[in-house]
Structure 1
């Protein structure tokens, strides 16, 4: 039982780290820079940590930039204002994701500028075979270590971990929570202390300061990903774009 709990928590936070650090802050917003070698390393880290729910850094970066440009309008890839529930919202997000991946989604050039790209790897990582292989790994782990079949109910969560993290923010953080800053959209902060989502829950802060490395902005707030980024800066893995790091 303890192994399964530890595995679930580890998968939750490692997958979330890849999303908030590499896909969100780097691919979409270029809050910091890294070498091409380290970029490829984090492509691999994202693939291993997200597994069956791998999200292309290129597609995620483009889609998230569109979200910021058209928040809460009909052009927003994911907005509670245009869907009755989060299932239909995420289905619309999936269709936009797939069309960007296929190169059939009409968009402005500004959304594609400097997004990280590794096309052949993305093609494999997004393939049905890759996703099924990862789900097979999750099933094997649960067969080996789960104390009862009831624990197998967690396998679907592992399978859709990336989109699940997305829906928590894209749906709930546009409907519930508090506001630190006035913006022209419905973004809200889900938590005062965001341990669950590694800083992603400070969505209102992020919409106010999209390229800020530290998503925490108010007293009592803590962005769990921020000290990790500071450590990576000290290790010369990433570099800030500005002299002042917040």
Structure 2
């Protein structure tokens, strides 16, 4: 039971900081925050994502490219150019690494107003850091598992960010329903989003990328939206007038 609770906690905390900090803040600038809170969320993102941590700046660039080049050969994670989900995950990894290491020449429009903490990203993305997190996850599973098959959860724990991304970038571009007719294959994957904290409303998101509320219909509940409103009320973040209007 302890291992399952840890797995669920890891799933949702990792996903929350991905959608709140890396996606809505870094990639889309849906709200603003000062340097103290930005670096606080940097640390929280690292602690929650562990071995699958991604630089918010590199993630932001990659995701902006996804929106600009959706379903084309320049899209970092389009199922149109991969035979299977694992091929797409590997292709996405190569895009990310090339951006993070500076091997890819990136257009200036994708690099504006990104959060940066180069020293922290270098340490958090190091092989030593990732291996230490793998050791932590493995130890927890071995010590607290009541049966051997709990070890099957380890690959997901270690590459959790990749699993989150694969669910949306593969399945939400193949299956689901649409609220808006767009010039791409983005769908809303789940009628009621319970596993992806609003991320599965992908068609809605492609219609209004900077909106702080990914849900649009009455049954499309985005659980991160009220958290964003709370953070705004607490003055942790600042919403723009346009962002409030799009919510």
Tell me the residue number matched to 1:211.
210
Please tell me the root mean square deviation across aligned C-alpha atoms, in Å: 0.9
Tell me the residue number matched to 2:241.
242
With structure 2 as the length reference, what TM-score do the two structures score? 0.97
Residue 156, structure 1, aligned to residue 155, structure 2? yes
CA distance, structure 1, for counterparts of residue 159 and residue 136 of structure 2: 14
1:120 Cα offset (Å): 1.1
Q: Classify the secondary structure of the residue corresponding to 1:218.
A: coil
Residue 84, structure 1, aligned to residue 83, structure 2? yes
Output aligned runs, 1:70-149, within 5 Å: 70-149=69-148
Tell me the residue number matched to 1:38.
37
CA distance, structure 2, for counterparts of residue 58 and residue 72 of structure 1: 22
Tell me the residue number matched to 1:173.
172
Q: How many residues align?
A: 245
1:30 Cα offset (Å): 0.3
1:224 Cα offset (Å): 1.0
1:241 Cα offset (Å): 1.4
1:219 Cα offset (Å): 2.4
Tell me the residue number matched to 1:186.
185
Tell me the residue number matched to 1:7.
6
Cα-to-partner distance string for 1:166-203 (whole Å, 9 max, x where unaligned): 00000100000000000010000001110110000000
1:149 Cα offset (Å): 1.7
CA distance, structure 2, for counterparts of residue 90 and residue 150 of structure 1: 25
1:91 Cα offset (Å): 0.8
Tell me the residue number matched to 1:19.
18
CA distance, structure 1, for counterparts of residue 127 and residue 240 of structure 2: 37
1:127 Cα offset (Å): 1.0
Moved more, 38-47 or 234-243: 234-243
CA distance, structure 1, for counterparts of residue 19 and residue 34 of structure 2: 18
CA distance, structure 1, for counterparts of residue 192 and residue 118 of structure 2: 37
1:101 Cα offset (Å): 0.8
> Tell me, which stretches of 5 or more residues in structure 2 are unaligned?
none
> Tell me, which stretches of 5 or more residues in structure 1 are unaligned?
none
1:143 Cα offset (Å): 2.0
